[in-house]
Structures are given as C-alpha cells and as structure tokens.
Amino acid sequence: MQYAIMTDLEGPAGVERFSQTRNYEPFYVVSMRQLTKEVNAAVAGIFDADAEAVVHVVDGHGSGGIIKEEMDQRALYIRRDQPINIYEHWHTYHAFMYVGQHAMACTPNAPLAHTGSSKHIVYKRINGVCVGEFGIGAAKAGYHGVPTIFLSGDDKACAEASTLIAGIFTVATKWGKGWQKARHLSSDEACRRIRQTIAEACRSLTGPVAQRIKPLRFDPPYSYEVRYIRPTKAPQRPLPGVRVDQLDAYTVLYRADDLDLLPLI
Ligand SMILES: [Zn+2]
C-alpha cells in the first residue's frame, strides 16, 4: 500500500521553544535530527507492518525540518513543492499520517501551538469546526476518501486529532505545560513508541471493516472561516467556484460546493 507522511518541526521530543525551529538559531539542527529520527522510526514501523509499502514523506516545516541525507532511503523525500504534490495525488494513497505535529493556534498549554502562521491566525474553521494544520490536512485527505490514521506530536495535538477522528493512533512525544514549555520523552523512547504504534495503525487498515478508521469528512456545502489577529481585507481577486464574504474587520468566510476549491492552507 502507499502511505503519505506529513511532518513538522514543532512536535518532536525535545522541541519546546520557537528558537529551536528557526534556521538561523543554533539548536535548529538538533531539532531536525530528532524529527529525522522520528520519521525513520515511522518508516520502519510502516515496513514492519507492510513489507511492500511505498512511503512518501513531506518535509512540511517552512524552512525545512528533515535532514534528507539521514532519512531512511526506503522512503521518498518530498520538499513541499516537489517532486510530487501529494495534495493532487490522493487517489494513489491508502493512508495519511502526521509526525512531529503541534496543536492549533490558541490551544491552552500546547507547546508551539499555531495554525499556519504563528503571527497572523487566531482560528480556522471548516463547517464551523475549529481545525489546525492537522484538521485541514485530514479534511483534504478525507474528501478524497483517504483516512488519516496516525499522529505523533505533543499531547494537545494528539487530543486534537482524537477529537476529529475516532480511533486514530497517536503517540505523545511530550506533555505541554505552556506555549514554550513541555515535559518530554527521551529521544529513543519517542522513536520506539512511534515505530510500534504506526505499525499497529497500518495493520488496522486490513483489519475488520467496522474497526477501520474512517476518512474525516464534512458535509457539503463547505465553509471555511479564517480569523486573523490584525484587521484583514478579504482577497480581491476572484476564486472560481468560491463565494467570499468579509464577516468583520478580522474574519473572512469562504464557501464552496467543492472542498478542493477552498483556499485551505
Ligand atoms: Zn506547523
């Protein structure tokens, strides 16, 4: 089967300050090394369960989060823009996963919580349901029938995933105590749990149908509401098939019958 893993640099064990995720700071590479280890644990777990697996790993952190040369060569490394845009190839995937994920903006005691940009966004909602980066990706996958079956990251990100997707397999790499504070698993223990749990998640794909994790689906018509920290004007250029309304000085509402037409990022 074919699997896609989305990654981020805020969720691995040991990462709790924004300075650890920025490419001009001294501990950035240490964070990248841990994310790479956790990705390799995930890839190993997938192959434990499915020796024929095809695994695509998206390096989702803005300035890069994975040390490509140290990543398990059995998986294909994908920079966000190349060589494959997973968001245009959902029909080829059987499951979607997250490694190194953080919680949505404004989640209490969630380390490094944000949605897209930590400087701009208060919340995003799909059909009235608050979603972060996890929920948006899971909704895109689910729209195309692909279940999101695994997440590793801080405990608040795990809770967010479990709220949206019943039965999703999760591994907490740390327990949030504040926006830049957490209690962490050791590097090796986080990897051990990720390998074991993602293998269980993969095996569940071929288990009894009633127990399989369902794709995250919202009912049409679709709405996507974005609230910004500062006053913002709705985009002026037309979006085909999308109705755009300015709800107030801070909030823009998009509506469409096709989820793929919404500017979900
Ligand atoms: Zn992120």
Write a three-state SS string for 118-141: CCCEEEEEECCEECCHHHHHHHHH
Q: What is the pLDDT of residue 107?
A: 96
* Model confidence, pTM: 0.96
Cβ-based burial of 205 (10 A; exposed 0-12, middle 13-18, buried ≥19): middle
Q: What is the pLDDT of residue 146?
A: 97
| Ligand 1 centroid, distance to 100 Cα (angstroms) | 9
pLDDT in tens, the chain (265 residues): 999 999 999 999 999 999 999 999 999 999 999 999 999 999 999 999 999 999 999 999 989 999 999 999 999 999 866 667 888 889 999 999 999 999 999 999 999 999 988 789 999 999 999 999 999 999 999 999 999 999 999 999 999 999 999 999 999 999 999 999 999 999 999 999 999 999 999 999 998 998 899 999 999 999 999 999 999 988 888 899 999 999 999 999 999 999 999 999 8
Q: What is the pLDDT of residue 6?
A: 97
- How does DSSP assign 150-178, residue by residue? EEEEEHHHHHHHHHHSTT-EEEEEEEEEE
Tell me yes or no: is domain 2-103+133-211 CATH 3.40.718.10: no
* Cα dist from 6 to 27, 131, 211, 263, whole Å: 22, 16, 24, 19
How many angstroms from the chain centroid is the CA of residue 89?
Answer: 17
Q: What is the pLDDT of residue 83?
A: 60
| Ligand 1 centroid, distance to 51 Cα (angstroms) | 30
| Ligand 1 centroid, distance to 11 Cα (angstroms) | 9
| Ligand 1 centroid, distance to 116 Cα (angstroms) | 6
| Ligand 1 centroid, distance to 208 Cα (angstroms) | 33
d(CA 72, CA 95): 19
| Ligand 1 centroid, distance to 206 Cα (angstroms) | 30
d(CA 153, CA 102): 6
| Ligand 1 centroid, distance to 77 Cα (angstroms) | 18
Tokens 């980066």 -> residue = 133
* Helix (H/G/I), strand (E/B), else coil: 103: coil
Is residue 142 a contact partner of residue 151, using CB atoms and an 8 Å limit? no
| Ligand 1 centroid, distance to 233 Cα (angstroms) | 24
Of 205, 194, 173, 183, which is closest to residue 39 (Cα–Cα)?
194
d(CA 174, CA 258): 37
| Ligand 1 centroid, distance to 185 Cα (angstroms) | 20
The partner residues of 154 in beta bridges, in order of sequence, read 174
The partner residues of 245 in beta bridges, in order of sequence, read 253
| Ligand 1 centroid, distance to 61 Cα (angstroms) | 6
| Ligand 1 centroid, distance to 114 Cα (angstroms) | 7
Q: What is the pLDDT of residue 86?
A: 82
d(CA 207, CA 96): 17
Q: What share of the chain is helix, strand, coil (3-state, %, to 5)?
A: 30, 25, 45
The domain segmentation of the chain, as residue ranges, is 2-103+133-211, 222-261
Q: What is the CB neighbour count within 10 angstroms for residue 234?
A: 13
Q: What is the pLDDT of residue 118?
A: 77
Q: What is the pLDDT of residue 191?
A: 98
| Ligand 1 centroid, distance to 60 Cα (angstroms) | 7
| Ligand 1 centroid, distance to 73 Cα (angstroms) | 24
| Ligand 1 centroid, distance to 6 Cα (angstroms) | 10
| Ligand 1 centroid, distance to 102 Cα (angstroms) | 6
| Ligand 1 centroid, distance to 219 Cα (angstroms) | 26
